[in-house]
Amino acid sequence: MFSIPDAETRVADLVAAARRAGADAADAVYFRNASTEVQVRLGALEDVGRSDGEEIGLRLFVGKRSASVSASDLSHEGLGALIERAVAMAREAPEDEYAGLAPEDRLLTGEAVPIDGDDGADPAPAALKERALAAEDAARAVAGVTNSEGAGASAGRTLMALATSTGFARGFVTSGYGCSASVIAGEGAGMQRDYAYHSTRHVSDLEDAGAIGRRAGERAVKRLNPGKLASGPMPVVFDPRVGASLIGHLAGAITGAAIARKTSFLLDKRGERVFAPGITIRDDPHRLRGLRSRAFDGEGLPTLPIDVVADGVLQTWLLDSASARQLGEQPTGHATRGGSGAPGAGTSNMFLEAGTVTPSDLIADIKLGVFVTELIGQGVNGITGDYSRGASGFAIRDGQLAEPVAEITIAGNLANMFLALTPADDLVFRRAIDVPTLRIDGMTIAGA
């Protein structure tokens, strides 16, 4: 069902056929996804979903003109029509001097770095239902929880293969498992909702369903009867589950496309200090069982762990081949690829290294501040770095977490926020982007 050699042959054959049809160069990518998901609510089965599909994408070049197409019809006739359409589209496309395959001399050769991304397990729907019920039962058992939005458990497997007309043909399989719960506490207009989830590559690494559910219930209850903070400048402390979004904004600002188009607030900041001394942010595509681990990128280049920020200094852009050519540089092995369209650039397993103080010590000197557990809205300008988002969480008073707060806005500028950021020592690898608890002084709060 998930044969890597068969997938490699399929994309290599499609590339060869595109060359015979008149393409000067081509690459193809294949995805096969199969997943099962079970949803329960109030102790009863609500939905069981099973998906199993495949898609193939072709990008080809005729001179400096290119086209990208995709299809789910993988029959001989369907792929023939796909090639014909792509060649016709490319001949009508405008020339692009930067488009093209990755440099042949930089492609991955030899053995791929093992990432241990597939455990070979295939949990039955009954086992997934049991996990989902256990999560919801634990959440509903928390005193103060009054209703449930449901719980879920999932299992899946993805096969990806890539081939280029320069001779690259590789594939890999990853498995994925998840469990989540979302519940409501309180009554009437005073109701509050919260959630918890966990995702892993190996089912044996998945957190106990009861622990996930209890965390969801406890979070919801703690949010009951929120107040508001007075407006003004104050320290903001980010829970790790929301603090990761700050590093996501960094990643978006240093992609090759943003730099080449001059649409980044970090333009011209490479080699300069953008975080406080001692801050290191690392991208590690080789982490065993990592959610975004990969031995090669979306263009066939080998991946390497890299410090994006070292001792507070921005070290690199994230470059695919097209943006690298536009900038007069070399690709960095960060190309990302979907079933259709040209490659982009992005991170793998990115994390901000832990600091040296506990979360309690991090807030100990704060007379008045806010601990953010949820962010709302998308008020971030990637060009200027201006940042303004709705938030909820807990007041910090005299160095301690105090009452819940809601309907506040936190604002600042990412360039200034990064420089003012201080991490705690509680880094845990749970997501594709991981951070410890983060403190940023001098943000503006709009509250009551």
- At 378 the pLDDT is 85
Host H or E run for residue 148: strand 145-164
| Most distant CA atoms of the chain, gap in Å | 73
- At 136 the pLDDT is 98
State yes or no: pLDDT of 206 exceeds 90: yes
Rounded average pLDDT over 198-206: 98
Q: How confident is the model at residue 377 (pLDDT cuts 50, 70, 90)?
A: confident
Residue-wise pLDDT for 318-350, tens only, equals 999 999 999 999 999 999 998 888 899 999 999
Cα Rg of the chain, angstroms:
24
- At 448 the pLDDT is 60
- Average pLDDT of the residues of the chain: 96
- At 1 the pLDDT is 58
State yes or no: pLDDT of 158 exceeds 90: yes
- At 189 the pLDDT is 84
DSSP 204: G
**Closest residue by Cα to residue 143 from 235, 54, 214:** 214
CA dist 198 and 431 (Å) reads 8
Rounded average pLDDT over 52-77: 94
- At 140 the pLDDT is 98
- At 397 the pLDDT is 97
Q: Considering the chain, what percentage of its residues have pLDDT values greater than 70?
A: 100
Residue-wise pLDDT for 409-431, tens only, equals 999 999 999 999 999 999 999 99
- At 339 the pLDDT is 85
Residue range 4-221 in CATH 3.30.2290.10: yes
Residue-wise pLDDT for 232-279, tens only, equals 999 999 999 999 999 999 999 999 999 999 999 999 999 999 999 999
Pairing of strands 368-376, 232-238: parallel
Domain boundaries, the chain: 4-221, 226-448
DSSP three-state, residue 134: helix
pTM value > 0.75 = yes
CB atoms within 10 A of CB 80: 12
State yes or no: pLDDT of 116 exceeds 80: yes
